[in-house]
């Protein structure tokens, strides 16, 4: 993402909301200092794989992956810290947000359900930025419909043998450790899915295809061919994989909303700065009432998404309550509103807004995937409705 010309970072006014405590204000200062150090802007983003590796290493060295991994598995994950980190990183650099998020999503299930041996082997290395992690749930015919999963594992003594493919796997091709969800057949549908830890050097594991997308990040189809792994790499009990996946997603789904907030806030900040400086009809673009009306809509959309996002995170952290519905609301509203905010920013920039390399053009590509991954907007609506109907 292009560096700002005169913007230093996102506003911190919202830290006065009652969702936050002093630890989050200290984290915000740490994040701002990290961004100001040039740790991100000095990384060459032309080679996405190497850039991602460098970003993970930098985040680990700065101690910022604590928020993604629960301090290497020694503490519960603080959802507000994860959201605050993603929002800040997204404002500065979309690939940095991605890199941070995947360190958490890729190991969340290990922290929740892994053996003490697995936790000690994996989580500290991911926390330090020495290892890169991935979360392998989706398949070509099983995205939102997880029950349609075909990739399978069969028990063979004290091992499991995995066969099949997973696709749309973020960090596929560069990850050291993968949390993989496969069908083990204990029961029909989602009740017959189990979760395993697979390492990149396990025999029978390979990268079938690298996938290019509009906002570049490491993405691949991965393949298992008679991939034999120890039964000790099973997470939880056989047949508990779907529950583990949903618990993991519930932790990090609100953070997707937070990333959308970061993108949207950057778009609004850039649009305001541009409109105030852009001459227009003998005045400035910012003096036009239509421009001001757009800013009003953009600001309200951002704040509504932020309130839902940090409510969901606070509810999980402080109240210890389920957040399935609240996180779904946050993701749906924040990502959809961010798309509208960024589209407005492109319009305000005019022709410059769609020029390759401009910040608005980059944000326009970055935001689109957030309305799809970890449950598309349409799926979030179904989740919200189902939770309401349970009452």
DSSP string, 316-385: IIII----HHHHHHHHHHHHHHHHHHHHHHHHHHGGGGGSTTSHHHHHHHHHHGGGTTTS-HHHHHHHHH
* pLDDT reported for residue 5: 53
Q: How far apart are CA 78 and CA 72, in angstroms?
A: 12
Which among 356, 370, 367, 368 has a CA at the least distance from the CA of 2? 356
What is the pLDDT, as a whole number, of residue 250? 86
At 167, list the tokens. 């696709």
β-bridge mates for residue 154, sequence order: 161
**Which positions are annotated as active-site residues?**
374
What is the pLDDT, as a whole number, of residue 357? 92
Main-chain dihedrals φ then ψ at residue 40, nearest 5 degrees: -90, -45
pTM > 0.85: yes
Q: How far is CA 41 from CA 52, 203, 294, in A?
A: 13, 38, 30
Beta strands in 25-151 (DSSP E): 133-136
Note the pLDDT of residue 1: 44
Q: Write the CB contacts of 62 (distance below 8 Å, at least 6 apart in sequence).
A: 30, 34, 39
Q: Does residue 222 sit in helix, strand or coil?
A: strand
Query: What are the residue ranges in the chain where pLDDT is below 70?
Result: 1-5
Q: Identify the pLDDT of residue 2.
A: 44
Pairwise CA distance, residues 224 & 227, whole Å: 5
| Per-residue pLDDT tens over the stretch 66-110 | 999 999 999 999 999 999 999 999 999 999 999 999 999 999 999
Contact 199, 177 (CB under 8 A): yes
How high is the pLDDT of residue 4? 44
């Amino acid at each position: 993402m292009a560096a700002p010309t005169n913007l230093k970072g996102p506003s911190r006014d919202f830290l006065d909301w009652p969702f936050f405590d002093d630890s989050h204000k200290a984290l915000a200062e740490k994040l701002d200092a990290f961004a100001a150090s040039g740790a991100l802007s000095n990384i060459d983003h032309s080679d996405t794989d190497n850039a991602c590796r460098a970003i993970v290493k930098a985040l680990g060295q700065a101690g910022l992956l604590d928020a993604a991994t629960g301090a290497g598995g020694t503490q519960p994950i603080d959802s507000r810290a994860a959201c605050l980190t993603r929002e800040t990183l997204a404002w500065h650099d979309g690939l940095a947000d991605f890199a941070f998020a995947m360190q958490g999503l890729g190991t969340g299930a290990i922290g929740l359900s892994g053996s003490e041996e697995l936790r000690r082997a994996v989580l500290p290395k991911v926390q330090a930025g020495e290892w890169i992690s991935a979360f392998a749930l989706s398949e070509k015919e099983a995205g939102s419909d997880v029950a349609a999963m075909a990739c399978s594992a069969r028990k063979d003594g004290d091992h499991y043998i995995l066969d099949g493919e997973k696709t749309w796997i973020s960090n596929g091709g560069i990850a050291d450790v993968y949390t993989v969800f496969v069908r083990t057949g204990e029961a029909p549908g989602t009740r017959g899915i189990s979760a395993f830890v697979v390492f990149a050097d396990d025999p029978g594991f390979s990268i079938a295809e690298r996938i290019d997308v509009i906002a570049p990040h490491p993405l691949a189809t991965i393949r298992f061919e008679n991939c034999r792994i120890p039964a000790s790499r099973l997470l939880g009990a056989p047949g508990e994989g779907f529950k583990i996946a949903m618990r993991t997603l519930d932790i990090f789904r609100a953070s997707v909303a937070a990333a959308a907030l970061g993108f949207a806030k950057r778009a609004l900040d850039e649009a305001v700065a541009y409109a105030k400086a852009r001459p227009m009809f003998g005045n400035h673009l910012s003096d036009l009432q239509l421009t001001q009306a757009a800013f009003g809509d953009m600001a309200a959309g951002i704040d509504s998404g932020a309130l839902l996002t940090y409510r969901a995170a606070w509810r999980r952290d402080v109240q210890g309550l389920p957040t399935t519905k609240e996180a779904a609301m946050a993701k749906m509203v924040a990502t959809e509103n961010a798309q509208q905010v960024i589209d407005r920013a492109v319009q305000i920039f005019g022709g410059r807004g769609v020029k390759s390399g401009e910040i608005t053009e980059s944000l326009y590509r970055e935001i689109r995937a957030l309305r799809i991954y970890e449950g598309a907007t349409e799926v979030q609506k179904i989740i919200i409705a189902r939770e309401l109907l349970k009452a």
